[in-house]
Structure 1
C-alpha cells in the first residue's frame, strides 16, 4: 500500500515538473531595440523567430572570444528564421562598439544599451557575456552566463526553429 502511495506521489511530482516546464515558461521582457544603423525592433516584432539576445562589451575578453562563433551561428541559422540581437553594455564607449562592429562586419542586429534599461529588463544583467535564447512565442528557453556550449545552443536553435 505504501509503495503505491509513494509511486503515485512521485508520478504527481514528475507530472507537475513537466507541466511547469512545458506550459509555464518565462516570457521575455517587453523591450525596444534601436540598432547602430537606426533600425528598430522589439520583443513583439521578433515573435515568430528564434532569437538570441547577447549582452557583451568590447572590454570583455570572453565576449571577443565568442563573437566569431556567434557570427557563425547567425550565418548558419538566419536563413531559417533565427535572429540575434547583440546588446552592448551601458559602460561600453559607443565609438568602441561602432568601430568593432564595422571592423568585424557583424551581420546581426547590434544595439547600445546606453541607459542600461535592456540589461535591467532581462534581470539586471551585469556579467558579460550573457545570452538569452528565446523561442518563437517569446518564451525564454535558456540563459547562458559566459560563453554558451555552442553544440547545445545549436541543438536548441534547431529544435525551436522546427517547432
Structure 2
C-alpha cells in the first residue's frame, strides 16, 4: 500500500460545481482518470459503476475525471447515456492529472482511504475482485 497523501485538488464537475480532495475525507474514494476515446476506460465503467453501487451506502465514493483532451460534449453524452451514478469531473487544463503524478495513461485510478491517503494506484483496468476486497477492508464494519 502506498499510504501517501492525496493531492489537494479541485475537481470541476459536469454541472459546473466543484469538489476538492478534502471533501473525500471520511470516505473511501476511487479517483478514476479516463477518456471517452479510451476503449479500456469505456469497458471498465460498468465495473466501476457496480463497485460504486455495492459500497456507496457504506461510505464509498467515486469520482471519474475526464482527461483534458476529452471533448466536454462527449463526456456529458457518455455520462448521460450510461447513467453513471457517481460524480464526473472534467480536467480542462490537465492540472488535476499533473497533481496526481502526471497521469498520462488511461485508465489510471487511485484508491484513497478515509484519512485522505492513497492506498493503491492502478494503471490500466484494476483487478476488480481485489479492488472490491480492499474497499471492503477499508470501510467501517469490515
TM over 0.5, yes or no? Answer: yes
RMSD, matched Cα: 1.3
- Aligned residue in 1 for 2:21: 43
Tell me by how many angstroms 1:38 deviates.
2.9
- Aligned residue in 1 for 2:104: 126
Q: Compare CA radii of gyration and give the structure with the larger one.
A: 1
Q: Which runs of 5+ in 1 are unaligned?
A: 1-20
Residue by residue, what CA displacement relative to the aligned partner does 1:57-93 show, whole Å, maximum 9, x if unpaired?
0000000110000000011111110000100000001
Q: Distance in 1 between matches of 2:80 and 2:108?
A: 22
Which residue among 101, 104, 115 is the counterpart of 1:137?
115
Q: Distance in 2 between matches of 1:33 and 1:157?
A: 22
Q: Distance in 1 between matches of 2:15 and 2:59?
A: 21
Paired positions, count: 141
Tell me by how many angstroms 1:35 deviates.
1.2
- Aligned residue in 2 for 1:113: 91
Tell me by how many angstroms 1:160 deviates.
0.7
Where relative contact order (Cα < 8 A, 6+ residues apart) is larger, the structure is 2
- In the TM superposition, structure 1's runs of 4+ consecutive aligned residues that sit over 4 Å from their partners are none
Q: Which runs of 5+ in 2 are unaligned?
A: none
Contact 2:12 2:19 (8 Å CA) reproduced: yes
Which residue among 27, 46, 67 is the counterpart of 1:68?
46
Residue by residue, what CA displacement relative to the aligned partner does 1:78-124 show, whole Å, maximum 9, x if unpaired?
11100001000000011000000010111101000000011000000
